Amino acid sequence: MQRVPAIELSHVSKTFQLNDGRSILALDDISLAIREGEFVALLGPSGCGKSTILRLIAALDTPGAGQIRVEGVAPAELSRAHRLGVAFQDAALLPWLSIAANISLPFRLAGHPVDQARVDDLIRRVGLADFAHARPGQLSGGMRQRAAIARALVLSPEVLLLDEPFGALDAVTRRSMNLELMRLWSTQQITTLLITHDVAEALFLADRIIVLRPRPGRIAHEVDVPFPRPRDATIMRTEQFHFMADTLTNMLADGFDEQA
């Protein structure tokens, strides 16, 4: 029996109306299927519709045309059942709550009793045990992102959506966050969709990379990442990694050339 994809978009389009009467076709006929346990990166220049795709999957917006199924149900249904974990670029932690309270917040929002052992385990796994009682403002940007990812994982979601979670970090911190995310993900291969501008981040983390091009947002390329798992930082120094990074960078540049 053929298994249902974990995430499936069929002919999805989305148009935004602007205040001046113009409209923007943000997504044009996007179809994609993500397997259970697959890690997919959406790569593309600014404005190609990456966040719009993620917002549609997270039920934060609705498509103008086409259909979306996540774990075989409508996104809103999955979101209502708290089976979806989402982390954004700006961490979006509540500044007046401790890190532990921020990470346990999804339990409270879902009306479930807090599973303190689960919260403590995740805090430890993202390396924040010494900061459980600190406020977000006392942490570095990288630490706040780790807390945001722990919060996205706390209810053991079936699908994890990450919108440029490391976009605001410096290159060195970003690299170490990639290693940490890889370690965390390896322990439980949850279906993950990561939005990124960063070619190396996509290649290191993903099983498959979908390259989008803007105006209108369309899928330009799909690339299978051949590196076997478990992966470590040494793959980033291989010729094959550099070759693929070059190829992907050229694919991104193609989208720009066509707009010029």
Ligand X SMILES: Nc1ncnc2c1ncn2[C@@H]1O[C@H](COP(=O)(O)OP(=O)(O)OP(=O)(O)O)[C@@H](O)[C@H]1O
Give the type of residue at 183.
R
Which listed range, 5-13, 41-49, 104-112, 244-252, lies at the site for ligand X (CB under 6 A)? 41-49
Calpha distance 24→2 (Å, rounded): 37
The sign one gets for the Cα dihedral 148, 151, 156, 159 is negative
Q: Which of 41, 48, 78, 252 binds ligand X (CB under 6 A)?
A: 48
CA distances from 87 to 54, 67, 104, 177, 232 (A): 11, 23, 14, 14, 23
Q: Name the residue nearer to ligand X (CB basis): 51 or 178.
A: 51
49 belongs to the binding site for ligand X (CB under 6 A): yes
Are residues 197 and 250 in contact, defined by beta-carbon separation less than 8 angstroms? no
The DSSP code sequence of 124-182 is HHTT-GGGTTS-GGGS-HHHHHHHHHHHHHTT--SEEEEESTTTTS-HHHHHHHHHHHH
64 belongs to the binding site for ligand X (CB under 6 A): no
CB of 207 to ligand X, least distance (A): 21
Q: Which of 10, 47, 60, 135 binds ligand X (CB under 6 A)?
A: 47
165 belongs to the binding site for ligand X (CB under 6 A): no
244 belongs to the binding site for ligand X (CB under 6 A): no
10 Å CB burial of residue 61 (0-12, 13-18, 19+) is: middle
Q: Name the residue nearer to ligand X (CB basis): 60 or 105.
A: 60
Kindly report the number of other CB atoms within 10 A of residue 112's CB atom. 12
136 belongs to the binding site for ligand X (CB under 6 A): no
256 belongs to the binding site for ligand X (CB under 6 A): no
86 belongs to the binding site for ligand X (CB under 6 A): no
10 Å CB burial of residue 217 (0-12, 13-18, 19+) is: buried
196 belongs to the binding site for ligand X (CB under 6 A): no
Q: Which of 4, 16, 138, 238 binds ligand X (CB under 6 A)?
A: 16
173-192 positions binding ligand X, by CB under 6 A: none
24 belongs to the binding site for ligand X (CB under 6 A): yes
52 belongs to the binding site for ligand X (CB under 6 A): yes
Tokens of 94: 């509540």
Rg, C-alpha atoms of the chain: 18
CB of 106 to ligand X, least distance (A): 24
51 belongs to the binding site for ligand X (CB under 6 A): yes
2 belongs to the binding site for ligand X (CB under 6 A): no
**Which residues in this chain contact ligand X in the complex, by CB under 6 A?**
16, 18, 24, 26, 44, 46-52, 217
